[in-house]
Amino acid sequence: MFPHWWNRWWALVFSLPVLIALTATFGWLIDGAVHSGQVMRNVDLEGRSVGGVTENELAALVSAEIGPAHLDDIVELRAPGRTITTTASQLGLLVDVEATVDATLSQGRDSGIGPDLVGWTVSFFKTRRADTIYRSDPETLRLYLVTEPAATKAIPVEPSFESVDGRLVVTDGVTGLKIAATPELSSRLEAAASNPQRPIVVKVEWDEARPLFDEDDVEAAIRAARELSAQGIVVTLNNFSEVIRPQTVRRWIVSDDSSGFLVPVFDELRVKRSLEVFLSGLATDPIAPSFAVVEGSSVSIDLGDPVMVCCDGEVAEAMYAVASGEAEGPVQLIARLAEPDGGLGSAEALGVETLVGEFTTNHACCGARVENIHRMADLVRGALILPGDTFSINEFVGERTIENGFVAAGAIEQGHFVEDVGGGVSQFATTIFNAAFFAGLDFTDYQSHSIYISRYPRGREATLGHPAPDLALTNNTPYAMLVWAEYTETSITVQLWSTPYFEVEQTGQSTSRWGPKCTRVDTFRQRTDSDGRVLDDSVFAIYRPGEGLDCFGNKIPDPRG
């Protein structure tokens, strides 16, 4: 038997822990009751002491401060060979207010009496930290990865087909690589964001991005393409009609997947190019633009009948509707202007704007030769010499005949004055020769009169015959040259209109013996172009000693007997 005092001491020892436990439990219960609906004592959320804060106050804090503070958190998606840097909000990674509030309120609660009691006791000496909970919005994440170029390493290529020389050729699809918006990626983002370390780093892998369409889709589209080109299509243009044969229709076919389905369509450019060639004979013949001098001071442009080509409107769509049976034929085609402005811009670009060369020669009134000079002027007036082109009077006017509007008049043939149809047109030749001389044109072919005639500039003149001699002028400027002729009863004037390119000056003239009796006259010209380059050249004339004489002074038989 133990002494009585021993029993009393032993009872005291064993009742003290019980008393402490009972006291702690009683305090925990009272504290829990006091904090009912509030965050437990000494709880911290992102550096903020929230102990004793009510649920509503906590929700307001997370919504107004903590959540917005993380919208611009930097997130790095680290894929092999590439890192994409963005923000949490762009990925749809947001603070989950409700979950964060619940997690904070659960601190010190709902873990069981033992753990809760221990945690409450420890809270008097150490702060308990609550976690911020995140959620990832799948749709925002998907949209970001779809629209962010860096999220695709290789774009998938859909299978396609097109007609090549009338045969349908298939190009296989190619699998791409991308970062996919999977539930696993969302979970990784949420877990990484809950870690206080910044930036938020998530490792990702490249996923296969397969084409939408497979072999079955391609085969179905090919079958549909063959049906499209099984029959010809009737088209009409300018009251004419033609049948576009299946072989031609087949050349228009390409694949299209813009609707979300792989289907055959007619390529608009292919259709128009094909029809332009096929129907070119049905279009009206165009009349080229022409130029005219108005009151001697300006140039007007007549666009004539502009070039029309096939076709106006959505031609491929109309053709497809008939080929597929959605509409009945024939297809009514409408020609369109090859140039929307009817060719005005192209005509203006030729640079026919200013008078660059002009010359006038005089003659007696009213003779037959004057009639021929006027006829020549009427035929040549409005001729256009394009840059680099050569203008031959014989080629442009043709042979001077009665049928062509010319009459018999005085002419020179083998050194003799004779009567010939077209006599007198050499005065026109001399006049345009001098206008071209001062406009700076090149003389590709020319010949002077064999006998000097005083109404012409000595050594600077030309004659005409058919088929020779000819007068041919070459336009060596970058602008077109308009030939314009005007006449009175006693004079003929030829003008050349273009854009000024040369400054021209006659720099001299020399006379020398040509053979025993003939005379050669050389006329020298200096041309300075718009870049300051100087070109020196000359023209010449050779004159016989008299009518019917050659350069040796011998008589030449009269060709007319």
Q: Are residues 278 and 361 in the same domain?
A: no
pLDDT of residue 115: 52
Domain-embedded: residue 476:
yes
pLDDT at position 311, please?
Answer: 78
pLDDT, tens digit (0-9, with 9 covering 90-100), for 513-535: 998 999 999 999 999 999 999 99
Based on the domain organization, do 383 and 420 belong to the same domain?
A: yes
Q: What is the pLDDT of residues 180-218, one digit of tens each?
A: 999 999 999 999 999 989 999 999 999 999 999 999 999
In 10 A of CB 75, how many CB atoms?
21
- pLDDT at position 360 over 70: yes
- Is there a single domain that holds both residue 335 and residue 245? yes
CATH number at residue 313: 3.10.20
> What pLDDT does 127 receive?
82
pTM for the full predicted model = 0.56
- Examine residue 147 and state whether it is found in any structural domain, yes or no: no
Q: Does residue 282 have a pLDDT over 60?
A: no
Q: Within 10 Å of residue 118's Cβ, how many Cβ atoms?
A: 15
Q: Which of 352, 334, 319, 313 is nearest to 481 (CA)?
A: 352
> Is residue 91 a part of any domain in this protein?
no
Between helix 183-194 and helix 138-147 the angle, nearest 10°, is 100
* Domain finish residue from 83, 115, 138: 138
323 in the same domain as 363: no
Q: Which residues make Cβ contacts (< 8 Å) with residue 433, sequence separation at least 6?
A: 443, 446, 460, 461, 462, 471
Whether residue 268 is found in the same domain as residue 378: no
- The bridge status of strand 253-256 relative to strand 263-266 is antiparallel
Q: Assess whether pLDDT exceeds 90 at residue 12.
A: no
319: in domain:
yes
Asked if pLDDT for residue 22 goes beyond 50, the answer is no
Q: How far apart, in whole angstroms, are the C-alpha atoms of residue 450 and residue 217?
A: 85
Do 481 and 500 touch, CB atoms closer than 8 A? no
* pLDDT greater than 70 at residue 281: no
What was the pLDDT predicted at 28? Answer: 44
Domain membership of residue 33 as a residue range: 4-71+97-138
Could you tell me if 292 and 406 lie in one domain?
no
| pLDDT for position 45 | 92
Label residue 7 by pLDDT band (50, 70, 90): low
Are 501 and 477 a contacting pair, CB within 8 Å? yes
pLDDT recorded at residue 414:
64
Question: Both 381 and 515 in a single domain?
Answer: yes
Average pLDDT, the chain: 87
Measuring CA to CA, which residue among 146, 145, 138, 133 is closest to residue 92? 138
Least confident residue range of 68-77, 145-154, 279-288, 428-437: 279-288
The reply to whether 464 and 344 lie within a common domain is: no
Query: Which of these, 74, 50, 51, lies nearest to 62 by C-alpha position?
Result: 50
